[in-house]
Structure 1
Amino acid sequence: MTGIRKVAVIGGGVIGGGWVARFAQNGLDVAVYDPDPQAERKLAGLMENAAHAFAALIPGDRPVFGKVTFVSSMREAVEDADLIQESAPEQLALKQKILAEIDAHARADALVASSTSGLLPSDLQQAMRRPERLFVAHPFNPVYLVPLVELVAGNATAPETIETAKAFYAALGMKPLHVRKEIDAFIGDRLLEALWREALWLVNDDVATAEEIDDVIRYSFGLRWAQMGIFQVYRIAGGEAGMRHFMAQFGPCLKWPWTKLMDVPDLTDALVDKISDQSDAQADGLSIRDLERIRDDNLVAIMRALAGQAGGAGWGAGELLNTYEASLAVTPLPKAAPDITRPLDLHTATVLPEWADYNGHMTEYRYLQVLGDATDALLALIGLDAEMLASGRSFYTVESHLRHLAEGKVGDKLTVSTQVLSSDGKRLRIFHTITNDTTGDVVATGEHMLLHVDTTSGKAVTAEPALGETMAKLAAAHAGLAVPDAAGRAVGQPR
């Protein structure tokens, strides 16, 4: 990951805390400095939600979680960091002071990123002795899920700083966008500001409530924006003639006196109270942590749905997610060799929102999916690889018996343990047990008979010597284990 292994985060609030989660869930050690005595407590709740979301977003192998350490001084945080992410309040003088202190104590080769949402990096660099390493890395909340990060260089920023930053944030599963011109509020916030101004006027003039405006967005164009943005959506609106026709048809309305973009209502106490009261009513008793969890689950569901589009290649944020997951698979995390004298824990899974049925429980075919993935993990362990598959050798599952014993709910982390009951070179009989890691309950079991086959003829054949020896070794190692009570049971047999 571009040589960056340890980072420092200055400011552990909503944005800084989001960065801590994003960094740590990618295996980076993070030193956090925040003078707020409540910072560590506040961050703990955010980190819990972030861990829940990341487990659902990346249900397979994930990096080993990085170490997060709160330190008592800025110097202690930055002095051995490879990259420092400043996330202090949006006050130019304060940020300049903090960046100067970071600059004084950080290693000469360390990069310095500011999370500012609108301050110009050229202004932020003014008090730094090494301004060439400073750049803006502006994220969007929640930082640990939303992938976009705007990268902005100042007048003194070195080109290689931006290039290193692009590679670094991309390795975190993000979409780094280099904003080519230094401009107030960059790109994202300028677009959001336009919509926000109009929304304030609509509430101020009693045209709509806060909840009604949110409904307009989430039930209409927000759905389109999530996967196509604005220009591509309007291209479709132009019909077969495309964008040129759309611009000709709807361009004149841009001159109509609809918008109040050049003005903003006075944020009087009355307007602030009105918006706050409407927002409280809309929340309907849900805490900020509750709303964060709901927002995160929805974002995960949207991104994972997009990941399955375009024939499985993914679309938009889903395509980016697939690329990120593939990068984790290309460089798998080191694992200790399994103890084959015990049932093998080869597969874990997290129950995703889309796995739930109308009762909020894991659907039947998802149990079979988890068991199938565990079988694949076992076959990989015994030596079934791409080369063997290409040669026309594989395993077919010819019989299964699945028992549903407990409910799997969204967010549950499941571990599958696998026991080899027997093997004769052609047949492999296995028994899986799915356990809920949180409760310890056995959620389901699956007994399966697999045949080693020649895929050209479709007939069972004896496995190659190396594969057969591994199968026999596992069967012998597990021969001394107690046979599960459910092994060999018939469907409907009394417990």
Structure 2
Amino acid sequence: MKIAAIGGGVIGGGWIARFVLSGHDVTVFDPHPEAERIVGEVLANATRAWQGLFQAPLPRSGRVVWASSIAEAVADADYIQESVPERLDLKHRIIAEIEAAAPASAIIGSSTSGFKPSELREAARHPDRIVVAHPFNPVYLLPVVEVVGGGAAAQRASEVLTSVGMKPVRIAREIDAHIGDRLLEAIWREALWLVNDGIATTEEIDDIIRFGFGLRWAQMGLFETYRIAGGEAGMRHFLGQFGPALKWPWTKLMDVPDLDDALIDRIAGQSDAQSGAHSIRELERIRDDNLVGIFQALKANDWGVGQTVRAQEDAFYAREVAAPSGYPLELHQTRVAGGWVDYNGHMTEFRYLQVMGDATDAFLIHIGLDAAYRAQGRSAYTVETHIRHLAEVKAGERLTVRTRLLGHDQKRFRLHHAILRDDGTEAATGEHMLLHVDTDAGRAVPMPSLLLAALDRIAAQDSTPHPEHAGQGVRAIRQSEAIA
């Protein structure tokens, strides 16, 4: 699939990074003299964030190819993301240039935060293939994208965006500013009044959001949060209890303060005092690290954005992946979290098993034993494990697991994991025997041909002798002690 991006600013750069990190080449046009530097810095931050977010090794990154014109950028493109400034006349001109050179089948997604598809389609040659694909910053992390504009183009755009880890929300009826920005606008207007009237500073308002309801919204949203607020009686009770307050003159949502020089100076000065100690790139990295932590917590609970992250990570596991030499498989990577270390400052023993267990899960997904397969009442259970602890690792170290298939038959397979440090040395190795089971009956059963074929394919890649310690385990130690 060929991707083109027109515009490489904050939003455009985020789109480029998401597509590139998902393995796609992206041809970019942006006349800004600093465009290559800006996109490069966004891509560097995005790469750092993805390395912290996913436990699966990332796909081979695509390339950013710079074009000298819109026509060059969109030639032969399958999907085109337009992210130019919010001026309708400019978007009309850009879309006209795109349509003059792009294939008639190419989908054009606009990042517009305010304009409706009907406005974008005015005078277009192929209006039905133009849709709104409005994301939220940072695009390379936040997965939601508002897709506005019906028909086959919206469906195809949603499929493309889903394939790079986005969560498209199809909006049935077009409306100015779509959904997300209308909600944000309500909070923004009220916040401006609070600063204008001297009731709160920018920092105080941000603290109330980030230490309060913002944390709830990060994982439940508005209506589900208020459902809980209604107690056991639920949403109906909440509406009956708090609904009358909506008629009280609390807000100024129908008006906006005059953004004169005095208010602009006040807001800018308070913002500098609040955040001026950090550069914009530093703030982006802090934001990204916090989001990654929230995402991982939600992934552990299989909730909200965590489900989107897990689906994308499972897709990484399922693809054909091998070590640089071709084998063993490198399916799992992780970084030693601060909470994983013991009183000696080293990763504690049971975390080695956790890393290997996660690598086993990655292997299962890789051969097709994924969530959909398990839903049919079949799974694989680990029945024996041996671990050799070889080296100490500290908080912050990045670990890569190399996995070998030591053997298999119709009901069993045996894996060998080697946990490698960044310098290639082994921190630990482990062997794991797994049985294919009928989870309802609670007994081992033969694997279907799909799994056996995947295991046969992997076994055929192994042309080297098994490690000398493989198959020995604790028994070998006991034998050596008896001899001594």
What TM-score comes out, normalization by structure 1 length? 0.79
Letter in 2 for 1:134: I
Partner of 2:355: 370
- Give the distance between the partners of 2:111 and 2:416, measured in 1 at CA: 52
Aligned residue pairs, count:
450
Aligned ranges 1:217-236 → 2 under 5 Å: 217-236=209-228
Partner of 1:350: 334
Contact 1:421 1:431 in 2 (8 A): no
Aligned ranges 1:173-212 → 2 under 5 Å: 173-212=165-204
Aligned ranges 1:248-263 → 2 under 5 Å: 248-263=240-255
Partner of 2:289: 297
Partner of 1:260, secondary structure, is coil
- Give the distance between the partners of 1:384 and 1:125, measured in 2 at CA: 45
Partner of 2:109: 113
Partner of 2:170, secondary structure, is strand
Unaligned stretches of 5+ in structure 1?
459-463, 482-487, 491-495
Cα deviation for residue 400 of structure 1 reads 2.9
Cα deviation for residue 77 of structure 1 reads 0.2
Partner of 2:300: 308
Flag the 1:347–1:282 CA change in 2: closer, same or farther, 3 A.
same
Cα deviation for residue 397 of structure 1 reads 4.3
Cα deviation for residue 90 of structure 1 reads 0.6
Match of 1:50 among 37, 46, 50: 46
TM-superposition CA deviations, 1:379-399 (whole Å, max 9, x none) = 999999999xx9999765454
Cα deviation for residue 243 of structure 1 reads 1.6
Letter in 1 for 2:351: R
Partner of 1:258, secondary structure, is coil
Is 1:67 aligned with 2:52? no
Cα deviation for residue 324 of structure 1 reads 3.0
- Give the distance between the partners of 1:143 and 1:421, measured in 2 at CA: 42
Cα deviation for residue 480 of structure 1 reads 9.4
Partner of 1:333: 320
Aligned ranges 1:134-145 → 2 under 5 Å: 134-145=130-141
Partner of 2:421: 435
Flag the 1:295–1:357 CA change in 2: closer, same or farther, 3 A.
farther
Contact 1:371 1:446 in 2 (8 A): no
Partner of 2:418, secondary structure, is strand
Partner of 1:402: 389
- Give the distance between the partners of 1:125 and 1:380, measured in 2 at CA: 43
Cα deviation for residue 230 of structure 1 reads 1.0
Is 1:124 aligned with 2:111? no
Cα deviation for residue 429 of structure 1 reads 11
Q: Aligned residues: percent identity?
A: 49
Match of 1:246 among 230, 238, 241: 238
- Give the distance between the partners of 1:190 and 1:383, measured in 2 at CA: 42
**Which range moved further: 22-31 or 360-369?**
360-369
Cα deviation for residue 284 of structure 1 reads 4.7
Partner of 2:176, secondary structure, is coil
Aligned residues: CA RMSD = 4.0
Partner of 2:142: 146
Cα deviation for residue 413 of structure 1 reads 3.9
Contact 1:429 1:447 in 2 (8 A): no
- Give the distance between the partners of 2:381 and 2:255, measured in 1 at CA: 68
Partner of 2:3, secondary structure, is strand
Cα deviation for residue 64 of structure 1 reads 2.5
- Give the distance between the partners of 2:99 and 2:234, measured in 1 at CA: 50
Cα deviation for residue 407 of structure 1 reads 2.2
- Give the distance between the partners of 1:271 and 1:137, measured in 2 at CA: 33
Partner of 1:319: 307
Partner of 1:236, secondary structure, is helix
Partner of 1:220, secondary structure, is helix
What TM-score comes out, normalization by structure 2 length? 0.80
Letter in 1 for 2:211: Y
Cα deviation for residue 338 of structure 1 reads 5.5
Partner of 1:414, secondary structure, is strand
Flag the 1:353–1:272 CA change in 2: closer, same or farther, 3 A.
farther
Aligned ranges 1:23-102 → 2 under 5 Å: 23-102=19-98
Unaligned stretches of 5+ in structure 2?
445-451, 470-475, 479-484
